[in-house]
Amino acid sequence: MKNKCGQISIFVIIAIVIVGLIVGYFIIRDYLPEPGISAEVLPVYQAYESCIKQKTLSGINLMETQAGYIEAPEFETGSTYKPFSSQLDFFGFGVPYWYYVSGSNIIKEQVPTKTVMQNQLADFLEEVLKECDFSSFIASGYDVELGDAMASVSIQDSIVKVFIDQDVSANYGEKSATKSSFSVDVESKLGKFYNQARKIYDDEKTSMFLEEYAIDALYNYAPVNNVEISCSPKVWLKADVERDLKNALEANIGAIRVGVKGKQYFVKEIPGIDENVNFLYSPSWTTKIEIEPEENGVLIAEPVGMQEGLGILGFCYTPYHFIYNVDFPVLVQIYDGIEMFQFPIAIVIDKNKPREAITSEVNDVQVDLCKYMNQEVSVYTYDMQLNPVEADIRFKCFESSCNIGKTKIEGDTAVLTAGMPQCINGYVLASAEGYTSGKYLISTNSENKAEIMLTKLYDNEIELTLDGKFIDEQTLIYFEGAENSVVAWPEQRNVELSEGSYNISVYIYKNSSLKIPGTTTQKCIEVPKSGIFGLMGMTEEKCTELNIPEQIISKIVSGGGRAQTYLLESDLRNGKLKINAKSIAIPKSIDEMQQTYTLLDSKILDIII
């Protein structure tokens, strides 16, 4: 037994020594010269491997900042119709969108595959490794020569493996060596972050959870659908609505987190995500907000119950329904405190609803006509006196809208000759600051010339009085004619008009405490009798009570009028439009309120240019 125990102890000691030698080797192997490489030239190769690591980290950082790209896809500009370019400008970095709608209204994806990322990082290394600095070695008497580098990269969850095939020769005195391959492992979560970014993107692409949050913000912070008990119109300035909605989107999108959902509204559950995630939107980023109906930057909801013949209602109410088209970017960031991977996507709200979900890979959902602008067309732009006007030119064919360029003044004409897509009954659209937009119907497969007349707009300050006295009460001023505009006084005090005939209407509202008492009326209708008698066509009278609650009228029409006039260009150049409205008796009942519209029709506005 003692001999056996002694033999076992010897084997244990030998095993410990072997394990110690193996561990020691792995600890000091990086400091040992490779076979055929002397200790004198070894520092050159160690420095080069350090440079490979640093350049790899630089490439990874660039790739994580630019949505998985080092070399971004070809840049594509946006348009007034769809403002997104193919990249989000994030503090001076162009970050390629993974999903966006192009300026010609084409849905596009540009999500890099991991193979593309590996190839781009390898190409990057082949270029930047030429910059590795050996000047300190050369100054110490070394001679270093680099051959052409061939790189390959493997992106894994927590490591990026880099393989460089390259002849690197180092000479120092009588010692020399040549090394032909280098292998470097760089710690990075690039692969993991990319995989989790794809999970988030794929979930958004099918569930559109970001659009759902945006729609909730829209309904909570902007006028969309509602009915209010009121006898005066509801008025919103579009600029105020846009500002409030952008601020709401910034706060709500920024509050979203990924995790176990539970009952928390701002927590989105996405399986497989265990890193920190940010969702960002900034009001300074390119955003499109279209609202209909809207005139001259004003949203108006007219009351029902004031019109002639509706006195039977016994009350007023103001319904409204506004349609929103909203496009804005969201930047998604996955991070751990050391590294961060980010990618932007375009969020699209179409007529108060999310865009349609994408269930498969897309590149171009429809034909992009703007890629085939092979029909040469000359566009001329003038004002009404045939003076040349430089204007931005677009071409629209069905749902495609292409940026063409800008007309330039050449002598006594403003002209642009450029290619346009083949299209039957398309439109050449011209716009210039200070002019109304113009368009020309054209079939580019048979026509090659378009002449567009633009009407000069003049900004006029409105001076509003009531019976000759200046007022600051809420007022709506309607201009119908050559230009259709609505001015919400006193927030708006200017209007842009062009020469032409106008019908001008003014409604002035003042504060009121008029009380309309509640009423109860009975409404009876004929309904089929129950049972067999109903089958035989027999009916009976059913009556229900209609309760109308008491109503306080907070705003009431106190003056206004109408006028028809022709505004000459020479009049508009003066820049001031004076309107004097006439007061009316303050109504004391719902019946008198309904008569105010008839009274206003008989009041003639004084228009002074």
Report, as an integer, the average pLDDT of 261-265. 74
Determine which of 184-188, 270-274, 316-320, 570-574 has the lowest per-residue pLDDT on average.
Answer: 316-320
| Tokens found for residue 518 | 């509640």
| Contacts (Cβ under 8 Å, ≥6 apart) of 8 | none
Tell me whether residue 277 is in a domain. Answer: yes
pLDDT value of position 30? 47
**Residue range 230-250: average pLDDT?**
90
**For the whole prediction, is pTM greater than 0.85?**
no
**CA atoms of 136 and 141, how far apart (whole Å):** 9
> Is residue 330 assigned to a domain?
yes
Lowest mean pLDDT: which of 157-161, 356-360, 520-524? 356-360
Q: How far apart are CA 385 and CA 440, in angstroms?
A: 18
**Are residues 323 and 286 both part of a single domain?**
yes
Residue type, 290: E
Do 206 and 343 have their domain in common? yes
- Percentage of the chain with pLDDT > 70? 82
Question: Is a pLDDT exceeding 50 seen at residue 321?
Answer: yes
Q: Are strands 375-382 and 413-420 parallel, antiparallel or unpaired?
A: antiparallel
- Let me know whether 200 and 346 are in one domain: yes
Which residues are registered as beta bridge partners of 469? Answer: 466
User: Same structural domain for residues 295 and 430?
Assistant: no
Average pLDDT over residues 90-107: 83
> Tokens 């989790």 correspond to what residue?
196
- Cα-flanking dihedrals φ and ψ of residue 311, to 5°? -60, -25
32-41, 263-272, 331-340, 550-559: segment of lowest average pLDDT:
32-41
531 in any annotated domain: yes
Could you tell me if 138 and 39 lie in one domain? yes
579 domain-assigned? yes
**pLDDT at residue 58, as a whole number:** 95
pLDDT of residue 314: 53
Q: What is the mean pLDDT of residues 89-101?
A: 88
Query: What's the pLDDT at 96?
Result: 94
Give the least confident one: 70-84, 275-289, 438-452. Answer: 70-84
pLDDT tens digits, 4-55: 555 556 656 666 656 565 555 444 444 444 555 778 889 999 999 999 999 9
**CA atoms lying within 13 Å on the CB side of residue 479:** 27
Residues 37 and 182 in one domain: yes
Q: Which of the pair, 352 or 34, is modelled with greater confidence?
A: 352
DSSP letter, residue 435: B
Q: How far apart are CA 123 and CA 116, in angstroms?
A: 10
Least confident span in 12-16, 439-443, 481-485: 12-16
Q: What is the pLDDT of residues 377-386, one digit of tens each?
A: 999 999 988 9
Q: Which of 404, 434, 453 is the last residue in one of the domains? A: 453
Q: For residue range 494-530, what is the model confidence (pLDDT) as tens digits? A: 999 999 999 999 999 888 777 766 666 666 766 676 6
Query: In which band, very low, low, confident or very high, does the pLDDT at 363 lie, cut at 50, 70 and 90?
Result: very low
Average pLDDT over residues 381-401: 87
**Closest by alpha carbon to 479, among 463, 495, 460?**
495
- Position 127 confidence tier, pLDDT thresholds 50, 70, 90: very high
The span from the CA of 568 to the CA of 570, in Å, is: 5
220 in a domain, yes or no? yes
Cα three-residue angle 151-154-160, rounded to 5 degrees: 100
Residues 290 and 413 both lie in one domain: no
Task: List for the chain the helix, strand, coil content (%; round to 5).
Answer: 25, 40, 35
Element (H, E) at 261: none
User: 458: pLDDT confidence band, cut at 50, 70 and 90?
Assistant: very high
Q: Are residues 501 and 373 in the same domain?
A: no
**pLDDT given for residue 378 in this prediction:** 94
**Which pLDDT band holds residue 296 (cuts at 50, 70, 90)?**
confident
For the chain, the domain total comes to 4
DSSP codes of every residue in 271-315: TT--SEEEEE--TTS--EEEEES-BTTEEEE--BS-STT-GGG-S
Tokens of 146: 């680099």
Query: In terms of pLDDT, which residue wins out, 106 or 282?
Result: 282
Domain boundary, last residue among 453, 469, 484: 453
539 and 496 co-located in one domain: yes
Which structural domain, as residue segments, surrounds residue 536? 458-608
Taking the C-alpha atoms of residue 68 and residue 250, their distance in angstroms, rounded to an integer, is 25
Is 90 exceeded by the pLDDT of residue 1?
no
Assess whether pLDDT exceeds 60 at residue 309.
Answer: no
Q: Are residues 419 and 469 in the same domain?
A: no
Lowest mean pLDDT among 311-315, 344-348, 396-400: 311-315
Helix 114-128 and helix 42-65, axial crossing angle in degrees, nearest 10? 130
Residue 526 falls inside a structural domain: yes
CATH of the domain at 425: 2.60.40.1120
With respect to residue 271, please indicate whether it lies within any of the assigned structural domains.
Answer: yes
Q: What is the mean pLDDT of residues 206-232?
A: 89
The last residue of one of the domains, among 424, 453, 482, is 453
Q: Which residue has the higher pLDDT, 544 or 132?
A: 132
**Amino acid at the residue 93:** F
Residues comprising the chain, all counted: 609
Total Cβ atoms within 10 A of residue 184: 18
What is the Cα–Cα distance from 218 to 175, expressed in whole angstroms?
A: 74
Q: Which two tokens stand for residue 570?
A: 């020479």
487, 433: one domain? no
State the average pLDDT over residues 164-168.
92
Residues 43 and 174 in one domain: yes
Q: 359 lies in a domain?
A: no
E strands, 50-197, where? Answer: 87-90, 93-96, 99-101, 107-109, 143-146, 150-155, 159-172, 175-187
